[in-house]
Amino acid sequence: MTMKTKNILLSLLLVLCTSAFAQEAPKGDVLFKGGTVLTITNGALENTDVLVRDGKISRIGKGLRAPNGVETVDITGKFLMPGIIDAHSHIAGSAINEGTSQVTAEVSMEDVVDPYDVSIYRALAGGVTSIHLMHGSANVIGGQNETMKLRWGQTDPDMLRFEGAPRTIKFALGENPTRGARARGIQPQSRMGIEMMLRNSFSEAQEYEKRWKAYNASKDPKKVAPEYDLRMQTLVDILNGEVLVHCHSYRADEIYMLLKVFSDFNIPRLTFQHANEAYKVAPELAAFGATASVFADWWAYKLEVYYSTAYNAAILHENGVLTSINSDSGELIRHLFHEAAKTQKYGNLSDDEALAMITLNPAKQLGIDNRVGSIEVGKDADIAIFDNHPLSIYAVPQMTFVDGVKYFDINNDKADQRIYIDPESSIEEVTLFEKMDYNHRCMEGAAIFFGQNLINHQH
Partner 1 sequence: MKSLRKLCLHAVLLLSMSVISLSSWAQSDPTGESPVTRTYALTNATVITKPGTELKETTVIIKDGLIQSVGKNASIPANAQVIDASELYVYAAFIDGMSNTGAKRPENPQRPQNLFTPDPPNFYAGITPENSVVEQLDVESSSIASLREAGFAISNTVPYGRMLPGSSALILLNDADHADDIIMKKDAALFAQWVGAPGAYPGNILGMMAKWRNLYRNAVQDKKHSELYAQNPAGMTRPENDRVSQAFFPVIAQQKPVMFNVDGVLDVRRAMRLRDDLGFPLIVAGVEQSWELADELKATNTPIFLSLDLPDEPKASDDEDKSEEMAAMEERRMEFYKIHVAQAAKLQEAGVNFGFAVGSVRSNSIWKNVQTYIDNGLSTDAALAALTTNPASILGISQVVGTVETGKLANVMVTTAPLFTKDAKVKMMFVDGDKYEYEVKERKKAANGGDNSSATTGDPVTGSWTYALITPQGDQGGKMVISKEGSNYSGYLTSDDGSPDTAMNNISFRDSELAFDFSIDAGGQSVQIVVVGTVTGKTYDATATVSFGGQDISMDLTATKDEQ
User: For residue 157, is the peptide bond before it cis, meaning its omega torsion is within 30 degrees of 0?
Assistant: no
List residues bridging with 43 in a β-sheet: none
Identity of the amino acid at 310? A
Q: Which of 364, 441, 457, 459 touches partner 1 by CB under 8 A?
A: 457
Question: Of the listed pieces 3-11, 245-253, 332-340, 450-458, which binds partner 1 according to CB under 8 A?
Answer: 450-458
The distance of closest approach from Cβ of residue 104 to partner 1 in the complex, given in angstroms and rounded to an integer, is: 7
Per CB under 8 A, does 102 bind partner 1? Answer: yes
Choice from 112, 173, 197, 282 touching partner 1 (CB under 8 A) = 112
User: How far is residue 301's CA from residue 305's CA, in Å, rounded to a whole number?
Assistant: 6
Using alpha carbons, select from 331, 330, 382 the residue that is nearest to residue 150: 382
Determine the interface stretch with partner 1 among 153-161, 255-263, 266-274, 305-313 (rule: CB under 8 A).
Answer: 153-161
- Residues 107 and 68 sit within 8 Å (Cβ to Cβ): no
Contacting partner 1 (CB under 8 A), which of 28, 72, 106, 253?
106
User: Does 448 interact with partner 1 (rule: CB under 8 A)?
Assistant: yes
Task: Verify binding: residue 276, partner 1, rule CB under 8 A.
Answer: no
Q: Which of 207, 225, 378, 411 binds partner 1 (CB under 8 A)?
A: 225
Contacts 24+ apart (CB under 8 A), 73-77: 73/30, 73/31, 73/32, 73/33, 73/385, 73/399, 74/33, 74/34, 75/32, 75/33, 75/34, 75/35, 75/385, 76/33, 76/34, 76/35, 77/35, 77/387
Secondary structure (DSSP) of 177-199: HHHHHHHHT-S--SHHHHHHHHH
Virtual CA dihedral for 217, 218, 223, 225, nearest 10 degrees? -20
CA angle 205, 111, 372 (to 5 degrees): 90
Closest approach of Cβ 131 to partner 1, in Å? 18
* 271 neighbors 247 (Cβ within 8 angstroms): yes
Q: Residue 357 burial by CB count (10 A; 0-12/13-18/19+): exposed, middle or buried?
A: buried
Query: How many angstroms separate the Cα of 403 from the Cα of each of 55, 148, 151, 399, 400?
Result: 4, 13, 9, 13, 10
* Choices 218-226, 239-247, 347-355, 375-383; region in contact with partner 1 by CB under 8 A: 218-226
Please give the Cα distance from 181 to 175 (Å, whole number).
10
Binding residue count for partner 1, defined by CB under 8 A: 69
Compare residues 229 and 284 and give the one whose CB is closer to partner 1. Answer: 229
Q: Please pick, from the candidates 54, 71, 74, 156, the single residue that binds partner 1 as defined by CB under 8 A.
A: 156
Q: Give the one residue of 63, 69, 378, 451 binding partner 1; rule: CB under 8 A.
A: 451
Please tell me whether residue 63 binds partner 1 under the rule CB under 8 A.
no
217 touches partner 1 by CB under 8 A: no
Position 301 contacts partner 1 (CB under 8 A): no
Residue from 1, 3, 20, 217 binding partner 1 (CB under 8 A): 20
Decide: 355 and 80 in contact? Cβ < 8 Å: no
Verify binding: residue 8, partner 1, rule CB under 8 A: no
Q: CB under 8 A: which stretch of 10-18, 56-64, 271-279, 414-422 binds partner 1?
A: 414-422
Binding test (CB under 8 A) with partner 1, winner from 3, 68, 224, 266: 224
8 Å CB contact between 275 and 282: no
**Which residue stretch of 27-35, 92-100, 192-200, 353-361 sits at the interface with partner 1 (rule: CB under 8 A)?**
92-100
Gap between the Cα atoms of 443 and 457, Å rounded: 6
Candidates 81, 84, 107, 160; binder of partner 1 (CB under 8 A) is 107
184 vs 406 by CB, closer to partner 1: 184
412 counts as binding partner 1 under rule CB under 8 A? no
Strands 44-53, 270-274: pairing is unpaired
Is 97 an interacting residue with respect to partner 1 (CB under 8 A)? yes
Residues that bind partner 1 (CB under 8 A): 20, 94-95, 97-104, 106-109, 111-112, 114, 116, 135, 143, 155-157, 179-180, 182-184, 186, 222, 224-225, 227-231, 415-416, 418, 420-434, 443, 445-452, 454-457
